[in-house]
Amino acid sequence: MSSTGNSDSGDSGGTSARAPWWRGPALLAALAAIGVAVVTGWVQRGEEAVVSAMSEDDPNRPVVAVGANDEVFCSTWLLHKDPSFVGQNLRNDLRGVDVFGKELRPVLERTKDSTGSQLPTGNRVDVTIVGKREQVVVLEGIELSVAKKSSLGDLMGVGDQCGGGFPARFFEVDLDVPNPEFKVSDVDDNGKSISEPIDFPYQVSSSEPEKFILMGKAKRAVEWTATLRWVADGKSGKTEIDDHGKPFVSFPEADVRYHFNTSTKELSIDQ
């Protein structure tokens, strides 16, 4: 993920949402005292935070943290090899491994990589934006770039006994249409209705963050990145949003036919 900016003049105005409970005086004072380093804590829920602009000299540039779902356990794998081959590799790699211990995930990660399987990193992407100082940064929009589309291969659910921050803005994009664009969503990623969703522009500062949930919807396997456009102190800029320098991957998890149980090490198929 990278940031760029130029000296283009722009309107620093914008609309801001009603201040919810998490923007109360006590919390805002604490956030201002802690500064931009608090962003890492907001997004680390088992994900690795990728923070942009933390060390840059430009005080106008907002800090952007991106968290992609890269969980290999209790997740859906997009296979690029025969399911029986992947299942056999999982059985071999898990031999002697405590499937309830901390070594399970590293083994699954290695098997995923060695078999060329992919995770649905683009089905939900958490993006947290905060200003470096009290001065407002206007977020003007977010744009999509499709890197690749491919036919959907076999899907395998991997795991066993899988169970089911602060308010976020939800955006969804239909990656199957010719010119996909992010649109503000009136439902969250669990299908729950959102009352009066607010679209761009938004405002952020060191004490007023925003969190976006980007939901890529696709019937095929689609790789994509995004670009956040912003204006601060009359200067426009942009921040690239990606998965550690790679595109996110979106595909329909509901189409899973194969299931690998990490406890019994058995591969099953839905008829």
pLDDT at 57: 63
Question: Which residues, in sequence order, are bridge partners of residue 118?
Answer: 78
Q: What is the pTM of this model?
A: 0.61
- Block mean pLDDT (10 aa), the chain, length 271: 43 39 38 36 38 55 87 91 95 89 91 95 90 85 90 89 67 92 85 79 85 91 94 91 93 88 91 74
Enter the tokens of residue 153. 């291969």
pLDDT at 166: 57
Question: Which residues, in sequence order, are bridge partners of residue 238?
Answer: 4, 229
Q: Give the integer Cα–Cα distance in Å for 240 and 227.
A: 5
Query: Burial letters for 16-44: b for 16+ Cβ neighbours within 10 Å, e otherwise?
Result: beeeeeebeeeebeebeeeebebbbebbe
CB 195 within 8 A of CB 239: no
What is the domain partition of the chain in residue ranges?
Answer: 47-269
pLDDT at 197: 79
CB 66 within 8 A of CB 1: yes
176: left (phi over 0), alpha (psi -120 to 50) or beta: alpha
Question: Which residues, in sequence order, are bridge partners of residue 158?
Answer: 75, 260
